[in-house]
Structure 1
Amino acid sequence: MSLLGWIVIGLVIGFFASMRMHSSERTTLIDVGIGTIGAVMGGSIITTFGHNDVAGINLPSQVLAVVGAAALLLAYHATFRVVR
């Protein structure tokens, strides 16, 4: 999957995570940004380790972008828990 595809997946995952957690507008933007960064990191990491077959539009590439976005969002929210 291309960089643009990873960014789109990160945007979607960040938005859905924010909606699931009933975040405010400010934290929605943060979640979308972190989801995008996580998806790009996940895609970049697997490409760096030589798995060039992940660069196409396929299921492993999409799963990797989702896992990267979810992992970074989970780490962020576990570290910076917002108290209402």
Structure 2
Amino acid sequence: MLILSCILIGIVLGFGAGKLAHSANQGILTDMGVGAIGAAIGGGAYSTFTITGAALYTTYSLLAAATGAVILLLVCHGVYYAITHSSDQTNPPKAH
């Protein structure tokens, strides 16, 4: 059940990131998928490396899932931006 909650958080954060970044080229569905993957990685990593137990465990796992989603979304948007804007350097200005 926790992994489904993590994935749902990732989908919501991915949707929000797509709207915030106006990523018409990447697409909202791509952002939602990347957010879900990042959330699953973040939540899974947290649950793997911590001791299970109290109700705070779930809260911190969901926070870790949100952090994983945000980090993966930032990386993907940065890589996409670098790839799409690398063609701007094909004709650099001449030095005088």
Q: TM-score range by the shorter chain?
A: 0.7 to 0.9
Letter of the 1:17 partner, please give it. Answer: A
Structure 2 gap segments, 5+ residues each: 86-96
Structure 1 gap segments, 5+ residues each: none
State TM-score, norm by structure 1.
0.83
Write the mapping of 1:5-20 to structure 2, written as runs, cut at 5 A. Answer: 5-20=5-20
Q: Please report the RMSD computed on the Cα atoms of aligned residues, expressed in angstroms.
A: 2.4
Within 1, Cα distance between the matches of 2:27 and 2:54? 31
Letter of the 2:61 partner, please give it. Answer: S
Within 2, Cα distance between the matches of 1:35 and 1:2? 16
Aligned length: 83
Q: Structure 1's 63 and 8: CA in aligned 2 closer, same or farther, altered over 3 A?
A: same
Letter of the 1:16 partner, please give it. Answer: G
Within 1, Cα distance between the matches of 2:54 and 2:68? 14
- State the shift of 1:2 in Å: 0.6
State TM-score, norm by structure 2.
0.73
The structure whose Rg is larger is 2
Letter of the 1:74 partner, please give it. Answer: L
Identity of aligned residues (%): 37
The runs of at least 4 consecutive aligned structure 1 residues that moved more than 4 Å come to 54-57
